[in-house]
Structure 1
Amino acid sequence: MLTEKQIRSLKPEGRDYVMSDGRGARGEGVLLLKVRANGTKEFYYQWHVAGKKKQRKLGVWPAMSLTVARDKCKGASPQSEAEGTLQNLLDSYVAKLKAEGAASAGNVEWSLKHYVSDPFPHLVKKLASSIEPGDIRDIISAMIKAKVTTYCNRVRSQLHAAFQHGLNQEYNPRDYLKSKVRFGLTYNPVASIPVQGDWERPGQRVLSKEELAALWNLLPEELSLVTAELIKFLIASGGQRPEQVVASDRTMYRADYYMIRSKKGVEGEREIHVVPYNDLSRACLERLKPISGDEAFPFMGRYKNNSINVQSVSRAVTKLCGRHPDTFKTPFTLRDLRRTCKTLMGVAGISKELRDRIQGHAFSDVSSKHYDRYDYLKEKSQGLEEWATWLVEEAGVKA
């Protein structure tokens, strides 16, 4: 059996090695001490299921003493241990977002599959409770090696949220009673992975009216019609968030306006944001009718009953910009279009308050948060008609 003195004397050997605290009774697990190459000493509970070894991390010595580790090991039962894999955890998190109607659900599902499940099939088969910071580091490092910059922080954030979801499911009494899969999480392994701060600088790029018109008039150059019309629709609608627009199914589109469900969680922001049509946005929807027909989403994706993937649209904008270095002063992204519309609507003479309402920004004063339930549909409609007129007559977009 291990002793505190023995653990203290164990030295790193250039590679990980394991010491056992002795065999448990038949049907029970055993306590292991894993000595890492960097000298870190970790306690693990190991048991067997169908002849295969499974492990769960208990803690790190000396923060967790040998006595406490033994108590945790004794209290554990192979039958009650978590069987949820990392893939189960990711699927559970995406299902939660979809159930909440989160606009980001589709994007999160795509990125976790593209950057985690597909390139690391061996990793997602591991128990979620056995995932360590080094595993998360390897995922993010692979993205950086592939020259994925800012988005590596997005995937880190998504993984962090997924593990927090698993922790909440484990320790929130109500969620614990409802959950069918146990993950056995005791900590969030993503918390130790730093955000790449130099890739998180706030965007500043604003297209000039000439650049915005050039972008509009280039479409749909080498892009699908759905991608091109979505970009035009976002501009015509005053710079709405693309994730929220594509998440609005056909039932959210009415005769004179469409609705967006806001799930960003900003205090003071209404859950339903109503955006009136103008001549330009109506024309976009009309041009899509022969393609989307009665599909569930006007901006349909490659697969039936799915909307277009925002990341593919973002890549298309970046590539289009790169093909015309003489047309655009500097590179820009899909995200820059919202800022551009907000700025140029000001140039068009639309007030700051009305621009905020058109883009669905939160009003955090007491009156707006708790008392004002007027929808400002008439005012937003007038503002967007002025915006469409300015785009055609002043900026030079082709209607």
Structure 2
Amino acid sequence: MRLNDSVIGGLRAKDSAYYVFRDDGTRGTGRLGIKIFPSGRKSFVYRFQADGKRKFKTLGDWPHFTLEKATQRYAELAGMPLQSRSDAMGKKMRTGTLRELFAAFIAFKSRSGHRSTISQYGALFEQLIKLKLFTGDEIANEITSVQITRCIQHWTKQDFMSRAKEVRKKLHALFEYGIVADNDPLSDVACNGVQFQIAHNPVRNVQNFEAGTPGDRYLDFKELRYLLTLFDNEKNVLPPDVQSLVELGFYTCGQRPFELCHLQKSRYIPEQNKIVLAKEFSKTGIETAIFISNKAKEILNDQAARYPDSDFFFPNVNYEEQLKKYKKELKANPITKMEKPTTGLNSDAWKKHMNEFAKIHFDQPFSMRDIRRTFKTLAGMLHFTENERDIVNQHVNKTISKKHYDKYDYFIEKRETTLKWEKALSLLLEDDGMEIINKIMENDIVL
């Protein structure tokens, strides 16, 4: 029978599974076919003879695994000598475990340059083992949707909806990779005698859900006034790097702390009040220009003087030592929960200090990520447009292709928004600052 997408789409489910094979007029090379399940699921299969017995290999689920991919894989298998084909089908291969799938996925994401992937997925795997939700030795392609559901229920039953949604998302990505992992030319899994043979993603059948609203913590104008006044009057309320980072976050309109920690002197143009963030440190993966106000310039100058031998304004001074320790741990345990060190200051340098500081000075917890939300919320109260806030926060217009994005796009708008925000922060530090801010919010005067 001739197989194409139209024919495959027209094949109807029956009470029991059945096969339809392509007739290409050849002998001794096996057959490419498709298996139709009672549920309606359709999987490409390769049928061949070995040791006088008919054997099958599942290639992948249609339409995610395309006919073109199936044909290509069939050609690879059909071109093998009989013994090699038999070996490839499983005599010398074993089916990979969940532990090995995590390791393969982490290696794949690391090659793609996704920062924090190793620590996030490594920590997730360790947590699944610690909670006894999985042992890690389960055969990956035998894990069912029911097992995934029970795993996620560990968090939903405790009302940890955000964490539950995050776990579902990560497991979905893990098994999506598992479907194509056997055909990943850069993976070492097959070389090590492992095949996953995952035909479908068990997470797809697990109902998705809403995790609730995002965090809503931000400093109000009184709290922000208190914080800025405290920083102006006392220089040691936080470690110098952390205090400078918090201030810089506010005076750059809430730029991401990871990105601020990786600003480089070699990319700073002080006479133009401009600094360019390298794409390898950008969340969006593209270079972006940040306008540096006068106050932000003072902060960067202080940091440059503090670390004259580093190209980074906020260097991780223990980077080499941490990297050596990390590589040793990674070699001993490929699925490590240890966070990969960064050349710039990392979150371990400020989390503890910020938590202690917030307990002393505020009624509610306050973290680095709340700085961005504080800017967006308070700027909105001061009648900054949504477009102004998005542009200065490096939210690229989705209609603009990254290929054609220029790092200097909207720089004039960024400058105007940053200067207007700096003016608002300056007003807060004046004796009658709160009164003026209230008038601006009520539209009695314009900022």
TM-score (norm 2): 0.55
The residue matched to 1:230 in structure 2 has which SS?
Answer: helix
The residue matched to 1:257 in structure 2 has which SS?
Answer: strand
- 1:298 is aligned to 2:314: yes
Contact map agreement 1:252 1:258 (CA 8 A) in 2: no
Q: Choose from 278, 287, 293 the match for 1:272.
A: 287
- 1:387 is aligned to 2:400: no
| Whole-Å separation in 2 of the counterparts to 1:64 and 1:367 | 38
Which amino acid is the alignment partner of residue 111 of structure 1?
A: Q
Q: Structure 1 unaligned segments of length 5 or more: list them.
A: 1-58
| Whole-Å separation in 2 of the counterparts to 1:222 and 1:120 | 40
Q: Cα distance, 1:279 vs. partner? A: 3.4
- 1:241 is aligned to 2:256: yes
User: Is the alpha carbon distance of 1:238 and 1:163 closer, same or farther for their aligned partners in structure 2, counting shifts above 3 Å?
Assistant: same
Q: What percent of counterpart residues are identical?
A: 22
| Deviations 1:87-132 (CA, angstroms, capped at 9, x unpaired) | 4433443444444444xx21x4323223322551773344433434
The residue matched to 1:200 in structure 2 has which SS?
Answer: coil
Match of 1:128 in 2: 140
Contact map agreement 2:101 2:174 (CA 8 A) in 1: yes
| Deviations 1:120-173 (CA, angstroms, capped at 9, x unpaired) | 177334443343445545654555688855233223312221221222444xxx
Which amino acid is the alignment partner of residue 184 of structure 1?
A: Q
**Superposed, which structure 2 residues align to 1:181-260 within 5 Å?**
181=189, 182-195=195-208, 197=210, 199-215=211-227, 225-242=240-257, 244-245=259-260, 248=262, 250=264, 253-255=267-269, 256-259=274-277
**Superposed, which structure 2 residues align to 1:14-163 within 5 Å?**
63=39, 74-76=55-57, 77-79=89-91, 81=93, 83-102=95-114, 105-106=115-116, 108-117=117-126, 120=129, 123-133=135-145, 135-137=147-149, 139-141=151-153, 149-163=161-175
Match of 2:188 in 1: 180
Which amino acid is the alignment partner of residue 163 of structure 1?
A: F
**Superposed, which structure 2 residues align to 1:242-391 within 5 Å?**
242=257, 244-245=259-260, 248=262, 250=264, 253-255=267-269, 256-259=274-277, 261=279, 271-288=286-303, 290=306, 294=310, 298=314, 300=316, 303-304=322-323, 305-306=341-342, 307-310=344-347, 320-324=357-361, 327-328=362-363, 334-346=368-380, 350-364=384-398, 375-391=409-425
Larger radius of gyration: 2
User: Is the alpha carbon distance of 1:186 and 1:271 closer, same or farther for their aligned partners in structure 2, counting shifts above 3 Å?
Assistant: same
| Whole-Å separation in 2 of the counterparts to 1:166 and 1:240 | 35
Which amino acid is the alignment partner of residue 178 of structure 2?
A: G
Q: Cα distance, 1:176 vs. partner? A: 3.7
| Whole-Å separation in 2 of the counterparts to 1:313 and 1:132 | 41
Q: Cα distance, 1:238 vs. partner? A: 1.0
| Whole-Å separation in 2 of the counterparts to 1:80 and 1:297 | 53
User: Is the alpha carbon distance of 1:382 and 1:315 closer, same or farther for their aligned partners in structure 2, counting shifts above 3 Å?
Assistant: same
Q: Cα distance, 1:184 vs. partner? A: 2.0
Q: Structure 2 unaligned segments of length 5 or more: list them.
A: 1-34, 49-53, 58-88, 190-194, 324-340, 431-447
Which amino acid is the alignment partner of residue 290 of structure 2?
A: V
- Give the aligned length: 321
| Deviations 1:40-70 (CA, angstroms, capped at 9, x unpaired) | xxxxxxxxxxxxxxxxxxx9x97599xx99x
TM-score (norm 1): 0.60
